Amino acid sequence: MANNSNISRHLPFGEKRDSRFYGQHILTVAQFDKTDLATIFEVAQEMRAMVQRVGSFDLLKGKVLTNLFYEPSTRTSSSFAAAMQRLGGSVIQINNVQFSSVSKGESLPDTIRTLEAYSDAIVLRHPERGSADTAARYARKPIINAGDGPGEHPTQALLDTFTIREELGQLDGLTVTLVGDLKHGRTVHSLVQLLALHNVRLNYVSPESLRLPAALQAQLAAAGVEQRQQPDLAAVLPETDVLYVTRVQKERFTDMAEYERIQGSYVINAALLRSARERMIVMHPLPRVGEIDMEVDNDPRAAYFRQMEYGMFVRMALLALVLGKA
């Protein structure tokens, strides 16, 4: 893992353990190499096994996590809260920061330095790109980036990658087809960077106006990733191992007829999946708004609800790792 060189390694409460993760921030997918992923996923697998066997355990008993959400994200904050609580730790939940005392004109660094006085780690969701880096620059305790506006959402990319691994056994050799709005989604942008660490082929199915940014495509090409624009979802489905569906947001369009046409053309339903492999998975970061028909939910290839559970295991792993208890 690229060392977060700007932070001093903090030794909370007398612990002396060290590792590549202990005391580190989780800010971007770019900080991880393949060895890091292997470590995270190995711990996440242990978490999965332990949750399924006993539900929870006291690995982080006595530790306090602050969930600092400058914009609402119930899904992500609940996932981290459950992860911390299943490890025996406790959570300070801070929502709607815009209405709270920490926002009486207070700077993010001051808020972070206040809250780290109370807590052992801070999960930060913030609408501005770069805010997690700013927080990390001032923090003595680990900062976990839970989305910084159009920037990064590294734990989502980790859970997506973990899902593929758990569902299909390995990543190398897979064909991943990404569908929908590939231009704006930080989820997709973070995910493809982790996929690029593996030997995968990527198909992009999106309208002209919502393509994966050229700079990101160039970066992936430089990393040797095989990428193809695919005009037709149905045509590419039979070769697809992972179908990653994202939401096409109405507000990205000025022409509503164009929106309706595009949105309708990407709906995943049972009929479409008849041409897909038997061993493949359909993923979605959720929430979905019509991109995947509910009739698909009972198809064993529908992995999007299991994806939520994998997310909790990955976040348990990250919390245990940065707090030196994995």
Which stretches of the chain bind a copy of itself, using CB under 8 A?
A: 12-14, 51-57, 61-64, 66, 72-76, 78-79, 81-82, 85-86, 88, 90, 92-94, 96-97, 99-102, 104-107, 109-110, 113-115, 117-120, 286-289, 294, 305-306, 308-309, 311-312
CB nearer to a copy of itself: pick between 252 and 277? 252
CB nearer to a copy of itself: pick between 14 and 224? 14
Q: How far is the CB of 116 from a copy of itself (least distance, A)?
A: 9
Cα→Cα distances 111→96, 135, 140, 229, Å: 14, 9, 13, 44
Q: How far is the CB of 28 from a copy of itself (least distance, A)?
A: 22
CB nearer to a copy of itself: pick between 149 and 239? 149
Cα→Cα distances 115→119, 140, 144, 269, Å: 6, 11, 14, 46
Q: How far is the CB of 265 from a copy of itself (least distance, A)?
A: 19
Which ranges of 142-224 would DSSP assign to H, the alpha helix?
A: 154-168, 186-195, 214-222
Q: What is d(CA 239, CA 247) in angstroms, rounded to the nearest whole number?
A: 22
Which ranges of 56-179 would DSSP assign to H, the alpha helix?
A: 74-86, 108-115, 131-138, 154-168
CB nearer to a copy of itself: pick between 76 and 193? 76
Q: How far is the CB of 29 from a copy of itself (least distance, A)?
A: 21
Q: How far is the CB of 58 from a copy of itself (least distance, A)?
A: 8
Q: What is d(CA 323, CA 18) in angstroms, rounded to the nearest whole number?
A: 10
CB nearer to a copy of itself: pick between 181 and 225? 181
Long-range contacts of 248-251 (CB under 8 A, 24+ apart): 248/180, 248/181, 248/207, 248/210, 248/291, 249/181, 249/184
CB nearer to a copy of itself: pick between 114 and 275? 114
Q: Which two tokens stand for residue 15?
A: 């612990």
CB 242 within 8 A of CB 279: no
Cis peptide before 287 (omega within 30 of 0): yes
Q: Could you tell me how many residues make up the chain? A: 326
CB nearer to a copy of itself: pick between 66 and 155? 66
Q: How far is the CB of 321 from a copy of itself (least distance, A)?
A: 17
Largest interatomic CA distance in the chain:
62
Q: How far is the CB of 78 from a copy of itself (least distance, A)?
A: 5
